[in-house]
Amino acid sequence: MTTRPSAPTTAPGSAASLTADGGTTARGTAASRRTVLAATAGGLAAAGLAAAPAAADSAGRTRGPVREPFGRLADGTRVDRWTLECGGTRLKVLSYGGIVQSLELPDRHGRYANVSLGFADLDSYVADSPYFGALIGRYGNRIAEGRFTLDGTTYQLPINDGDHSLHGGDRGFDKRVWDVEPFTSPAGVGLTLRYVSGDGEMGYPGALATRVDYTLTRRGDWRIDYAATASAPTVVNLTSHVYFNLAGEGSGDIYDHRLRLAASRYTPVDAGLIPTGELAPVARTPFDFRRGKSVGADLRENHEQLLYGKGIDHNLVLDKGITRAPKRVATVREPSSGRTMTIATTEPGLQFYSGNFLDGSFAGTSGRVYRQGDGFCLETQHFPDSPNQPSFPSTVLRPGDTYRSTTVHSFAAA
Ligand code: BGC
| Domain assignments of the chain as residue spans, ordered by start | 15-54, 68-413
Cα(373) to ligand 1 centroid in Å equals: 13
As a whole number of angstroms, the distance between CA 20 and CA 378 comes to 34
Cα(345) to ligand 1 centroid in Å equals: 20
Buried/exposed code over 44-76 (b: 16+ C-beta within 10 A; e: otherwise): beeeebebbbbbbbbbeeeebbeeeebbeeeee
CATH assignment, 68-413? 2.70.98.10
Our answer on whether the CB atom of 273 is closer than 6 Å to any ligand 1 atom is: yes
Is 164 known to be catalytic? no
Q: Residue 238 in contact with residue 226, Cβ under 8 Å?
A: yes
Q: pLDDT (tens digit, 0 to 9) for every residue of the chain, 414 residues total?
A: 333 333 322 222 222 222 222 222 222 223 232 222 333 333 333 332 333 333 334 456 898 899 999 999 999 999 999 999 999 999 999 999 999 999 999 999 999 999 999 999 999 999 999 999 999 999 999 999 999 999 999 999 999 999 999 999 999 999 999 999 999 999 999 999 999 999 999 999 999 999 999 999 999 999 999 999 999 999 999 999 999 999 999 999 999 999 999 999 999 999 999 999 999 999 999 999 999 999 999 999 999 999 999 999 999 999 999 999 999 999 999 999 999 999 999 999 999 999 999 999 999 999 999 999 999 999 999 999 999 999 999 999 999 999 999 999 999 999
In the three-class reduction of DSSP (H, G, I as helix; E, B as strand; rest coil), residue 97 is classed as coil
Mutate which of 99, 167, 175, 244 for ligand 1? The one with the most ligand atoms within 8 Å of its CB, which is 167
Residue 325 burial by Cβ neighbours in a 10 Å radius (0-12, 13-18, 19+)? exposed
Backbone angles phi, psi at 39, to 5 degrees: -60, -40
Q: Residue 305 in contact with residue 267, Cβ under 8 Å?
A: no
The DSSP line for 155-193 is: EE----BTTBEETTSTT-GGGSBPEEEEEEETTEEEEEE
Name the DSSP letter for residue 28. S
Our answer on whether the CB atom of 351 is closer than 6 Å to any ligand 1 atom is: yes
The pLDDT assigned to 64 comes to: 85
